[in-house]
Chain A
């Protein structure tokens, strides 16, 4: 027997050292750098619900005063901001509309890309993947001109709708990719089995394929909803009338006015706005993560 491992003490010391080294790596790479993230979110919650906050994150005295925007108008000097609820409805409209459009367009296209044979199918997939990689934000100036040309600029609700359609168009290629992935995962055998069992192609679709790709539709819808909900630049650039702002734009303006003045109020407002995102994330974390991976997976 080799004498290498007779020195158990030495081995145990080495193991201990290795453990310490690993713990230090985790500490310095993953834990300490995450402190700002912790500070941010603990601070956000602490500020939103307390009258006074010490050291930025330790709450002191519970209050709902910061949430006054829910029942009264936000006013800063002479500047009056629109009521929060119509603004929230604008955001909901933008997000739901984007989700609906993307799901519809991506569902159809994803099915065609996955299940149908046509000339140029590979080229089409390459093209869509390329679009997905392309940073669409650089087209903003041209999109602005386009909306003007189409008569969608400066017209309140119609402009908001224009932003929604544009947002949906920019998200659609990715949605199509994700849907294609979900359709790819439905084995042909199942469709054939359904046909053999007496379904026609349409009932096979409804009874066999649709239930299998429903998570895909849900994922794309949630993803597009969150993208629409978080949309800032286009709405900020294109929508002039404050009545038709989504939450993101209003909060941006309110932050500009209130920073250094009332952090608690800003925190409450931000939390109100971020809440749907957080809720969706908590409830569909696995689904969303799959999309984040699937999204880049194409």
Chain B
């Protein structure tokens, strides 16, 4: 197993910067997810690690070895593609055996390894079939088996679950994670699905427009988004971002309400910014009474989503935010409510740069 290091890697297609100055270190045995919307450069990054694309700039290292100019053949990586990319003219057995045959392993050894990995993935009864005779889930396992059979140093997964139905996807998430930990393999996983990323990864790399937005554990990404992109990309529904003007070091004039910090550190930092976004996650807003409320709002829509209600409310004019509430609450569109923001869950972002404003709330402040 190896560690993977990307040092200022860029990939341009003509004038388009698909990946722009990405630096990243992935530890041996770590499960890292590249997360971002489609076209953000995450698959291109993966293909560069695989050796299919050559970076326009920058170097890639496996452990200490510079593999930038080394073809995929010699990198000992395994890869699972979104389309699975099973060879349609080969049986499942030959699909899995293909990488080993290319390594010119002896026949009996190939046979042993193919059967082993097939058993591990519970597809040993399908070895004689052609890919077209398999279900989506089975094809996915074959693709995984083909990637694992050569005992790769790095396992690359490009949206491997996106073509599966919802139930199977949830099951495979756990299965993949378990497999990766058992084999101790370094895994790089590409997805646009934040739930996959949050539930499977040791660390998440959020990308947009070819650049890394934030790298961190799922918890860091969720609770300390480093800019407005990450804040609005993660979470369902995503974080509410309310534009505010800084009146003085303590007071924000936001759309529909005024918010006063009692914290001096906040004051100091806020002095450096003129306009900010007031970020608050839907689940960190509590419905309360008039006296305790930070803001007043009108209910627009109430949508049940299983165990909770998503309530869309209007703060002022056109600006709406979403809050989560227990279904026991009896509310209907048009009702007036009062909102309380959980103090320690408030995020601030500079409006111009979108960057997070770090401040610390002293405990027991409230």
Contact = CB atoms under 8 A, between A and B. Distances in A.
Contacts of A6: 65
B2 interface: yes
A12 interface: yes
B170 to A, nearest CB: 34
A3 to B, nearest CB: 10
A5 B74 contact: yes
Please classify how large the interface on chain B is, using the bins under 10, 10 to 19, 20 to 34, 35 or more: 10 to 19
B57 interface: no
B63 A1 contact: yes
Contacts of A54: none
B71 interface: yes
B70 A8 contact: yes
A1 B69 contact: no
B76 A15 contact: no
Contacts of B74: 4-5, 11
Contacts of B75: 5
Question: Residue among A5, A11, A12 with the most chain B CB within 10 A?
Answer: A5
Interface string A1-28: 1101110100110010000000000000
B20 interface: no
B93 interface: no
Contacts of B71: 11, 15
Interface string B56-88: 000000110101011100111000000000000
Interface centre among A2, A4, A6, A15 (most CB of B within 10 A): A2
Contacts of A11: 70-71, 74
B196 interface: no
A213 B63 CA distance: 58
B153 interface: yes
A5 B64 CA distance: 12
B70 A4 contact: no
Nearest to B64: A1
B62 A1 contact: yes
24 contacts: A1-B1, A1-B2, A1-B62, A1-B63, A1-B65, A1-B153, A2-B76, A2-B153, A4-B74, A4-B76, A5-B65, A5-B67, A5-B70, A5-B74, A5-B75, A5-B76, A6-B65, A8-B69, A8-B70, A11-B70, A11-B71, A11-B74, A12-B69, A15-B71
Given A1-B65, A4-B76, 19 more contacts: A1-B1, A1-B2, A1-B62, A1-B63, A1-B153, A2-B76, A2-B153, A5-B65, A5-B67, A5-B70, A5-B74, A5-B76, A8-B65, A8-B69, A8-B70, A11-B70, A11-B71, A11-B74, A12-B69
Q: Shortest 5 CB-CB distances between A and B: which pairs?
A: A5-B74, A1-B63, A1-B2, A11-B74, A2-B76
Interface of A: 1-2, 4-6, 8, 11-12, 15
Interface of B: 1-2, 62-63, 65, 67, 69-71, 74-76, 153
